[in-house]
Amino acid sequence: MSNEPLTKDIKSLDCLKLSKNEGEQAVYKAFLDDSDGVQPREIAAKRGFHETTIAIVINRLKVKKLVYISGWKLSNKNRQCAVYKVGNKKDAVMPIKKTLAAKKLIDEAGDFEKLCKRYDAINRALVPTRNTKQQRAANLMYLNHIQGIR
């Protein structure tokens, strides 16, 4: 890799073609070769650069709104990695990874729903059905009980 500084002002991807920096040229070639989007790790692996070098170039392109995050892919280490495409569109939202605590809450919520259904069934079996007048009388007795009046 050359020691030339990275291009200071990138106004289009065509500037990368004129760049003498090999890292920038590698990014430019990757975007031209792949229409499905590119990942910095893939570029680094194919072209023989460090991931940080490629990430810096892509980040500057992103700041200039020449590339955007079109989606996310899982890496070998089960981490979300951005997939970049050429254009000025809104970035795709990173999917939320379910942590162990979130999974536990979801499991408990499922158990809670089952428990609620079970209690509702028991309640229907034990509490007699009442018409409106009977229900009002029962409610009045309950309110008096909790207030301690009678």
Per-residue pLDDT of the chain (150 residues; tens, 9 = 90+): 455 555 555 556 666 667 777 777 788 888 777 777 888 888 888 888 888 888 888 888 888 888 899 999 887 777 888 899 888 889 888 887 666 666 666 677 777 777 788 888 888 888 878 888 998 998 898 898 888 865
The predicted pLDDT at position 133 comes to: 92
Contact 45, 37 (CB under 8 A): no
Tell me the backbone φ, ψ of residue 130, rounded to 5 degrees: -130, 155
- 148/75 Cα distance (integer angstroms): 65
> Can you name the CATH fold of 13-86?
Arc Repressor Mutant, subunit A (1.10.10)
The predicted pLDDT at position 5 comes to: 52
- 70/122 Cα distance (integer angstroms): 51
Q: Which two tokens mark 2? A: 């050359």
The predicted pLDDT at position 1 comes to: 47
Burial category of 136 from C-beta neighbours within 10 Å (exposed 0-12, middle 13-18, buried 19 and up) = exposed
